[in-house]
Structure 1
């Protein structure tokens, strides 16, 4: 099998800019000529093996930074945008999208942002009676989507926050454990922790110095909320500096992102990077073992596994998704080539939807996407009781997975015939951009294909995809 050539011009330019080097100086340190470097940065030539080695030796660069993760995300997002009915007559070939994503990522992101603004405008016009006369009825990105994209394009890994949380956890290991350390820190700040029978998970009153936690919540949830509050109180400068770097468009997005960063700190403190990575590798990513070892929920464990992308110490690139009973994606991240739909739900053939039918069980699935990439996926329900009679139950299902080449590192691959092509179920991303012609669960036709409609014939679908 031929080795795939590595084109990473945008990433090379990013590394050079980060090092504050001119092309001439960068070329000299890499041991190549200036014209050769220029050709690599413009994707006219692939990155050579000698350049990859020089990046690692001269600059300590994790060569996995040159991977096409960002490019694949951009291509997936662009394909979904071009599947919008308003752009139905515009169908550039996939090769053009890949060139745009790799050669002009800033332009690709601008197109994505423009489409997001268009959708926002369309949604506002759909509810014009509500928007008319309001002072804040301006077109801007949804704060929630803006924050989700921030984490998405950071590879769901925030280095400074992760290191700060790991440092806090190290201090905790030397003083009786993370829970005892957190309680001692709060006490030192004059804050009293109480347990109250309330629906809110956490409620902090700065005037009285009281942090109230819900007695209905599970112990791991209460500890997570304590660490989250500590992040807001003790790591405010770090969180604000990270938010300044992100340059959000609205105060709402900034506020949502700050809570997201505090959540990130809590998870990283509860499951410190290097210790968690070593445990995950040792336990072969057994979610239940890791849950017991770190006192975290299964969902917290899965989320943390999807963040192990520290340069120089990366874990398996996982995808992680959470869906509700309607199939709507409420959390999503992928460090793999599999990218989720930005709008709408997940493919109905995916095992995450079946998890609602089998509570308390882990479902395994071997799946193949239309691009021929094969994955192993683990799904389970994570319904969250309200903690009292009559309290609403929040029902979700989650899925964690990776490319099948990592199957040997997962306990969940035992007994699965990964060498059998017939064992892999065909799944897609979104019906509008899925190229499969014979899918029995297709909800809408693919916009990149022409259709044949026969009045005297009816198959599973009322049309045939050409």
Structure 2
């Protein structure tokens, strides 16, 4: 099968602008004519092999960046938004969406922002929100959604924060006791650490300069919270600088994002990039061995694996998702072509939902999405107890996966028949934009197809998709 042509006009323009060259000078350094470069930048022509090699040799560009970025995410997010019933004319052709994502990404983001504002306004009206009539009732994105999209379009990798965390996590000359390092760093900053029998996981008494950590929390959670506080105290300037670049619309979004960045620092310090990437490769991504080796939980390891997208030193592109018992996605990220629905839950055919039925076990699945891409997926339930009788237990399920071409590098793919097409279960993204015609778990019809309804016939669904 011939390799797909690479259209990366927006990325070429970004590289040229970043190094401050005119089209004429850039074309000369790449060894192509000015008209040819102009056609590539406008996606009228694919990026040639000669140009890819020149980008690597002349400018040291990690050529994998050409095929990464917002393109697939934007296409997936636009398809989901356009599946909203408000767009009565149906979804534009996929080719048009890809053209918009590659040639006009800023316009695509503006469209998504507009649709998000519409949804929020519509939900307020539907619930008779008392905010109607107030001066601050104008539509604006939910702070939580705004922060979610920030990490989503950063590929869940924040370089400056990741490198600062790696420096902190390896500064103990290989002793490997990140917990002691965190306590020592806090002590040097005048903050005492107290481990208390309390429901509150972490409480920093800034006035008394005491950090209280719950003894009821698992050891890895205690370490994570120590490192999170280190980030808020020692890396405050870096976090604020990163937030300034993000330009959040509300103070609430900025505050949520700051906690998110501190969480990112904590995970990256527990599992420093270089050492963790090497360990992941050596163990063939054995989650349990990685958790033991770095004093982390399975969920923390899965989340960290999904962030290993440093230019020039990328790990396997993983997707990572966490769902609650109602099927609502509470965490999501994908460095793969698989993109999750921005609103609602995940496909019911996905093995992440079955994890609740078999607690304490790893469930493996070979899956294929409607675009024909095949994946290996691993799912498991996660229970978070509060540490005392009568307190509620939070239950989630997590899934980690990647494209099947990486199966040889995954210990959890051993024994799976990845060569047999029939071994792959069909899954989708969202029923409204899923193109499958015969799915027995479909909840709503696909909006981009016409339906046939026969009152004399009843199959699994009360209609058929044309």
TM-score for the superposition, normalised by structure 1: 0.98
**3-state SS of 1:381 partner:** strand
Once the 2 structures are TM-superposed, how far is the Cα of residue 204 of structure 1 from its aligned partner?
0.1
Distance 1:181 1:94 in 2: 51
5 Å-filtered alignment, 1:222-371, equals 222-371=222-371
Once the 2 structures are TM-superposed, how far is the Cα of residue 90 of structure 1 from its aligned partner?
3.3
Aligned to 2:81: 81
Once the 2 structures are TM-superposed, how far is the Cα of residue 68 of structure 1 from its aligned partner?
4.4
TM-score for the superposition, normalised by structure 2: 0.98
Once the 2 structures are TM-superposed, how far is the Cα of residue 172 of structure 1 from its aligned partner?
2.5
Equivalent pair of 2:90/2:447 in contact (CA under 8 Å): no
Equivalent pair of 2:90/2:448 in contact (CA under 8 Å): no
Distance 1:319 1:365 in 2: 14
Distance 1:82 1:68 in 2: 23
Distance 1:173 1:404 in 2: 38
Structure 1 residues 205 and 135, CA gap change in structure 2 (3 angstroms): farther
**3-state SS of 1:320 partner:** strand
5 Å-filtered alignment, 1:175-214, equals 177-214=177-214
Please, which runs of 5 or more residues in structure 1 have no aligned partner?
none
Are 2:9 and 1:13 equivalent residues in the alignment?
no
**1:264-291 Cα shifts (integer Å, max 9, x gaps):** 0000000000100000000000000000
Distance 1:63 1:181 in 2: 37
Once the 2 structures are TM-superposed, how far is the Cα of residue 439 of structure 1 from its aligned partner?
0.3
**1:362-390 Cα shifts (integer Å, max 9, x gaps):** 00000000000000000000111111001
Equivalent pair of 1:82/1:88 in contact (CA under 8 Å): no
Equivalent pair of 1:172/1:180 in contact (CA under 8 Å): no
5 Å-filtered alignment, 1:60-75, equals 60-75=60-75
Distance 1:15 1:390 in 2: 57
5 Å-filtered alignment, 1:3-42, equals 3-42=3-42
**3-state SS of 1:331 partner:** strand
Once the 2 structures are TM-superposed, how far is the Cα of residue 220 of structure 1 from its aligned partner?
0.5
Aligned positions, number: 466
**3-state SS of 2:169 partner:** helix
**3-state SS of 1:330 partner:** strand
Distance 1:142 1:15 in 2: 32
**3-state SS of 2:320 partner:** strand
Distance 2:135 2:92 in 1: 39
Once the 2 structures are TM-superposed, how far is the Cα of residue 134 of structure 1 from its aligned partner?
3.3
Once the 2 structures are TM-superposed, how far is the Cα of residue 70 of structure 1 from its aligned partner?
1.6
Are 2:375 and 1:375 equivalent residues in the alignment?
yes
**1:237-287 Cα shifts (integer Å, max 9, x gaps):** 100000011011110000000000000000000000010000000000000
Distance 1:26 1:373 in 2: 35
